[in-house]
Structure 1
């Protein structure tokens, strides 16, 4: 019963975080509010959640990473693939080496292998935290896609570095060749498992649907099970379950491009996934905050490991690690951008320092960092306590909170008044697709009308209805092929029409609810009518 009460309390805290974030007079990212609420829950209530890293990874990361991979624009991901790989692989290794030596130099009491382990868990950026920051800060689309792609792929490289750092701490031995081979197996195997499983499920689902028909509930449940299945199979094969979940999401985008699912399934599935994303994101940060009192309670003992007695030394170390991470990230991003420009002889532009600074501030750490540091073993092989484990956990938590605060303050300042290079709007592609779709609809209406009306006495009715529908589509084509001046007037008229239609829909909905309250209309009929109005309003809002 206590566990159920705790879960419900965490969910209430997630809901309350949104209300508090909107009530504050100054913009504060929701993750910081959620961490504060989680810390309040941990202080007020006598509850302590013991985070099992394996369970934490399994419950939260697969669905969220799967959804991010599913929804990220694949063409943008592949267009900036070289930059993303430079950040997701090269920057992680660069950060682990640089921060490992820096942390060991700054805190000699922390063994070098443990310092490398700490550097490995703070090197990957967190896709959940990046997305949460972006909700309050207007980040250019291309930059956001690079950040999302980096944070989706750098977890595997960071966790592999962590695995070998822990092995070196336990055994005192390290093999670069074994590490490289293991990384290849972990990465390639994880991607293959995720992509293969998703393709197999998609093919099987399509074959069964053609034979038996489609049931929306089952289709939605299958989409929920795919990331967990990919993660578990990959981990069983000692591959990266995180990369398997990401690859499954990317493959799901290709599978769904076939358009086999019913419209009702897509609408309901989107709603379910939006709810899961909101709930899981919030719960992760509330749990991070709930761990904070426990970590701070041991601060007095933890600081003694560093050779000091004043707790404020821990704050100095946290700030120093964040500054070091930002400096290494700034240097690597600058170098990456320079190499990208050199590969394009037609471009003589130099990297914009503010863009590089924004990319550096956007290196936010989150749940993966905390879950990774909690995987540090409790004891060595001889039974002795694992050296500086509590210190590593404290510093990792400090890095998470400070990186969120720095991004919340630094990103808006960096982005304010920054003129970004013009990005293709894609309007031409959208207009061309609308015209092609309308032409395909006209051709299909004409074919279907001839087929249905053949040999019928009321053939004229089919001809009249088909002509009316084809006129609607021809009008849509004419709207997409008008002159720019006419398009400006048309957009103005469409804006006016949209406002009038929204007002009319609101009035319709109000009248339906009034009839329900006055028992002039049944609830089932009202639900049907309201859903029709809601779908119409959703189309206008897009």
Structure 2
């Protein structure tokens, strides 16, 4: 019962953190508030909540990585693939070896494989934490695309490197050729597994719903189970479950374009996934705060083994790691930009070339978060000989400190740099304007063609209706469609003013009807079931007319 109480306390803390971040005016990142609330929970319950590392990994990472792969812009991913590749794979390799040797030199009591594992797990970045910091600022579209793409794939590369380092620590054996072959197999098989599992589940789902119809609850549950199925299948064959979850998300984004899912299912599915994402991210940061006191005690004991009895050495270790991490990231971003410019033979006077400020934004945008926390907590508790895993608490404490310091640094410096960018939100969205205009025009043409073909059959089916009625309906539908989706409407045009007026009237009518139905239900003049069904339909109508 005590564990159930801790879980409910953590969930309540997540809700409270969302309230606090909207109320306080100082712009404190949401993860920092959740960490502080976790520390409060630890003080109240006086014990940490233990989870088996593999169970923790399975519960938290697959859905988060699946959702990242699903929602990332594929056009931006393709356009910035070179920059994303350099950061997601090249920077991870540099970080693992460079930072790993620095950590081992700094803390001799931490074995080299553990140092490499720690370096690998602090290499993945968290775009959700950055978005929380810069949600009210104008982030250049290209930089945001690079940060999101990097975070998607360096999750996979960092976690694969992390697991390889742990395997070396557990077995005491390392071979470069075996490591390379293992990485290729783990990556390739994991990626293919994610694609195959998602496609198969979607195919059988489509065949079943064609014959027996669609059940919204089952559809959403199947969608939530997809990343877990891909992860478990990949792990079963010795491949990367992490890459399988990422590949499953990417595959899902393409399968979704088939349009076989009903609109209602899409709406409810999106809402549930937003809740899952918010809850899992919040749970991990609250869990970090909840475990920090015990982690700190274990880290102090490891520090004492190095000959230092002052716990302030923990801060020194963490500061050196963070500075090294920042220097490696800044140096690699600077190097990659110049290498890509040389490979593309980009003129030095090109207006779109990266400035020092862009490099600093990319460097500070590498905030660590959920994946780093989830990964480091999966460090084994025991070695194969049943001895305690060396420096486990110290590694977890240092990873947690890197998360906190990166969040604080980004929350202070990143807004300042982004304000200096002085970009209007409209300017950020301009690259998408042509695509939106094209989509609107093509959709209008298709609507006109199909409705024009439908009118004769409607006139035949309902001969008592005058032909002018159908013409007026067609014109009104096209105007309403154009005004609701036009990325750059003429706000002074008569048609747009009529559209806004009609929308306001419709929304007022819907709200009045809803309040009337609620009053009738309260007065027991209609049943609750009737009220719920009618209000649900009114809610759908309101969503349709609300941007």
Structure 1 residue 488: Cα displacement: 5.0
Structure 2: unaligned runs, 5 residues or longer = none
Equivalent-residue separation in structure 1 for 2:438 and 2:143 (angstroms): 26
Structure 1 residue 411: Cα displacement: 1.4
Q: Which moved more, 1:91-100 or 1:63-72?
A: 63-72
Alignment counterpart, residue 471 of structure 1, candidates 469, 475, 484: 475
Structure 1: unaligned runs, 5 residues or longer = none
CA deviation map 1:68-97 (0-9, x unaligned): 211111111121112111111100000111
Provide closer, same or farther for how the CA distance between residues 3 and 480 of structure 1 changes in structure 2, counting only shifts above 3 A. closer
User: What secondary structure sits across from 1:459 in the alignment?
Assistant: coil
Alignment counterpart, residue 516 of structure 1, candidates 521, 527, 539: 521
Given the alignment of the two structures, is residue 538 of structure 1 paired with residue 543 of structure 2, yes or no? Answer: yes
Equivalent-residue separation in structure 1 for 2:489 and 2:100 (angstroms): 61
Alignment counterpart, residue 444 of structure 1, candidates 450, 460, 465: 450
User: What secondary structure sits across from 2:51 in the alignment?
Assistant: coil
Aligned to 1:9: 9
Q: Which moved more, 1:362-371 or 1:471-480?
A: 471-480
Provide closer, same or farther for how the CA distance between residues 496 and 346 of structure 1 changes in structure 2, counting only shifts above 3 A. farther
CA deviation map 1:195-229 (0-9, x unaligned): 11111122222222222222222211111111110
Aligned to 1:411: 414
The alignment covers a number of residue pairs equal to: 539
State how 1:68-467 maps to structure 2 within 5 Å.
68-135=68-135, 138-345=138-345, 347-348=347-348, 349=350, 350-419=353-422, 424-454=430-460, 458-461=462-465, 463=467, 465-467=469-471
The TM-score, its normalising length taken from structure 1, stands at 0.91
User: What secondary structure sits across from 2:258 in the alignment?
Assistant: coil
Preserved contact between residue 376 and residue 389 of structure 1 (Cα < 8 Å): yes
Q: Which moved more, 1:161-170 or 1:100-109?
A: 161-170
Provide closer, same or farther for how the CA distance between residues 513 and 343 of structure 1 changes in structure 2, counting only shifts above 3 A. farther
Provide closer, same or farther for how the CA distance between residues 283 and 172 of structure 1 changes in structure 2, counting only shifts above 3 A. closer
Equivalent-residue separation in structure 1 for 2:135 and 2:490 (angstroms): 35
CA deviation map 1:424-473 (0-9, x unaligned): 3422322332232233223222333333554x5x4242845532331224
Provide closer, same or farther for how the CA distance between residues 181 and 488 of structure 1 changes in structure 2, counting only shifts above 3 A. farther
Preserved contact between residue 220 and residue 265 of structure 1 (Cα < 8 Å): yes
Equivalent-residue separation in structure 2 for 1:242 and 1:214 (angstroms): 30
Equivalent-residue separation in structure 2 for 1:28 and 1:138 (angstroms): 18
Equivalent-residue separation in structure 2 for 1:523 and 1:24 (angstroms): 39
Equivalent-residue separation in structure 1 for 2:511 and 2:438 (angstroms): 33
Q: Which moved more, 1:103-112 or 1:199-208?
A: 103-112
Structure 1 residue 324: Cα displacement: 0.8
CA deviation map 1:333-359 (0-9, x unaligned): 112222233344455344211121111
The TM-score, its normalising length taken from structure 2, stands at 0.90
Preserved contact between residue 326 and residue 360 of structure 1 (Cα < 8 Å): yes
Equivalent-residue separation in structure 1 for 2:43 and 2:448 (angstroms): 65
Provide closer, same or farther for how the CA distance between residues 478 and 398 of structure 1 changes in structure 2, counting only shifts above 3 A. closer
Equivalent-residue separation in structure 2 for 1:512 and 1:344 (angstroms): 64
Preserved contact between residue 159 and residue 242 of structure 2 (Cα < 8 Å): no
Provide closer, same or farther for how the CA distance between residues 113 and 265 of structure 1 changes in structure 2, counting only shifts above 3 A. closer
Equivalent-residue separation in structure 1 for 2:429 and 2:34 (angstroms): 34
Q: Which moved more, 1:314-323 or 1:336-345?
A: 336-345
CA deviation map 1:389-438 (0-9, x unaligned): 33222211211221122222221122112146866342232233223223
Provide closer, same or farther for how the CA distance between residues 501 and 337 of structure 1 changes in structure 2, counting only shifts above 3 A. farther
Preserved contact between residue 125 and residue 364 of structure 1 (Cα < 8 Å): yes
CA deviation map 1:242-290 (0-9, x unaligned): 1111111111111110111111211221222122122222112111111
Q: Which moved more, 1:256-265 or 1:148-157?
A: 148-157
Equivalent-residue separation in structure 2 for 1:113 and 1:470 (angstroms): 69
Provide closer, same or farther for how the CA distance between residues 379 and 67 of structure 1 changes in structure 2, counting only shifts above 3 A. closer
Equivalent-residue separation in structure 1 for 2:34 and 2:431 (angstroms): 35
Structure 1 residue 241: Cα displacement: 0.9
Equivalent-residue separation in structure 2 for 1:507 and 1:82 (angstroms): 54
